[in-house]
Chain A
């Protein structure tokens, strides 16, 4: 079973719509990282969350880590075609960032 579950696996939204991607673990997350990947390319770092209840924003993307530090959500407001790609969450579950566990990713498509 996957230690880090991402949902949904795939998402198709119309431009301008809001959307949320979730990343859930049964274990405490000591560090939670969100990355974006365009097909066939490397991962681009978006945000890192460490503290329970923490929330960070960058342009139209907001990420939150719940108080229990077991779930994170990534919210995109007024989506644009440039937001399309694969979003991956990675987590430090051992309090040792040498080893990140990654979710399977969420493929986002945004159509005009």
Chain B
């Protein structure tokens, strides 16, 4: 069966510090991968998605970047965190076809930027 992991679970970082959040998927090949952010009082906002190694699409301009160095690894990064980067970050995967494929979510990382 497929599983999705995210770490760390919780992170407290000072403003201006770098960020690296990792997401890995097991039990499937060539998944579509997604990074979402959930801010208080808002729904989920799609940040990035990837259909393959090295292929990243950005949905919103922001202080963050994403990379996919391996088929089942998706990394969310920032060189300098802003206060507004605080939130709950969720990684998700879906089957490779994308069309009508359910997205399955990881446990999330809670980021607090102080």
Partner of B43, one of A33, A88, A92: A88
- B44 and A88 form a contact (CB under 8 A): yes
CB < 8 Å A-B pair total: 62
A33/B100 contact (C-beta < 8 A), A40-B88, A90-B44 known: no
Set of chain A residues within 8 Å of B102, measured between Cβ atoms: 33, 45, 48
- CB contacts under 8 Å to A, within B29-80, are 32, 36, 41-46, 49, 51, 59
- B88 and A97 form a contact (CB under 8 A): no
A90/B103 contact (C-beta < 8 A), A41-B108, A98-B98 known: yes
- B99 and A96 form a contact (CB under 8 A): yes
- B110 and A42 form a contact (CB under 8 A): no
- A42 and B108 form a contact (CB under 8 A): yes
Chain B 84-114 against A: per-residue CB contact (8 Å), 1 yes, 0 no? 0000101010100011111111111010000
- A97 and B98 form a contact (CB under 8 A): yes
Which of A11-19, A59-67, A77-85, A102-110 is found at the contact surface with chain B?
A102-110
A53 CA to B102 CA in the complex, in Å?
19
A7 part of interface (Cβ distance < 8 Å): no
Chain B nearest CB, measured from A25 CB (Å): 13
Question: Would you mind naming 9 contact pairs between A and B with Cβ atoms under 8 Å apart?
Answer: A42-B106, A42-B107, A44-B105, A97-B101, A100-B44, A102-B36, A104-B41, A104-B42, A104-B43
Known: A4-B43, A33-B103, A98-B98. 7 other contacts (CB 8 A): A43-B92, A44-B105, A45-B104, A90-B103, A92-B100, A97-B98, A102-B45
Top 7 A-B pairs, shortest CB-CB distance? A102-B43, A43-B105, A102-B44, A42-B105, A42-B107, A104-B43, A98-B98
